[in-house]
Chains A and B, each alone.
Chain A
Amino acid sequence: SQTIHQWPATLVQPVGSPLSLECTVEGTSNPNLYWYRQAAGRGLQLLFYSVGIGQISSEVPQNLSASRPQDRQFILSSKKLLLSDSGFYLCAWSTGLAGKKNIQYFGAGTRLSVL
């Protein structure tokens, strides 16, 4: 079966520090991968998605970047964190097979607090 791992679960970082959140998927090949941010009490905002190694699409202009160095690895980064980067970050995957349903499966999330 497929599993998705996301870490760390909680992170407290000072303003101006760098960020690296990692997400890995097991049990599937060539998945579509996604990074979302969720503000407290709000819905999900899509930040980045990737359909393959090295292929990244950005949904909103921001202080963050994403990379996909391996098929099942997705990394969310920042060179200098802002207070507004605080939130709950979720990684998700879906099958990349054409004609299949785009059901996305989520990791447990990372709670980021920028102080």
Chain B
Amino acid sequence: GESVGLHLPTLSVQEGDNSIINCAYSNSASDYFIWYKQESGKGPQFIIDIRSNMDKRQGQRVTVLLNKTVKHLSLQIAATQPGDSAVYFCAENSNTGKLIFGQGTTLQVKP
């Protein structure tokens, strides 16, 4: 079946360093992917997305990389700040039209 999983449940980084959050997916037919940020006690917020015909997309301080050969997705956050502390979810848009979410990676930013 379809699955979206993350390699590490928790990532701890120093403030100012770059963060890289990884995600593996299994459905090669998925046509795009989304990253969400969820702060404690709140709903997930859309961060950035990428279509399957792209391998890189940049936003403000964030970059998403897609490697379709190995079915791998990553979110890079530049100059990580305390406000970036949250759980990050990747999601794939499956061929059924529904989003399949990963289990999430907790990002902890140390001052």
Contacts and interface: CB of A to CB of B under 8 A. Distances in A.
B93 A102 contact: yes
B49 A101 contact: yes
Nearest to A106: B43
Interface magnitude class on chain B: 10 to 19
A90 B41 CA distance: 11
A102 B99 contact: yes
Contacts of A42: 103-104
B44 A44 contact: yes
Interface stretch (A13-21, A60-68, A71-79, A107-115): A107-115
B46 A105 contact: yes
B97 interface: yes
Interface of B: 32, 34, 36, 41-46, 49, 89, 93, 97-99, 101-104
26 contacts: A6-B43, A42-B103, A42-B104, A43-B89, A43-B101, A43-B104, A46-B98, A46-B99, A49-B98, A90-B43, A90-B44, A92-B43, A101-B32, A101-B49, A102-B93, A102-B99, A103-B46, A104-B46, A104-B99, A105-B46, A106-B44, A107-B43, A108-B42, A109-B41, A109-B43, A111-B41
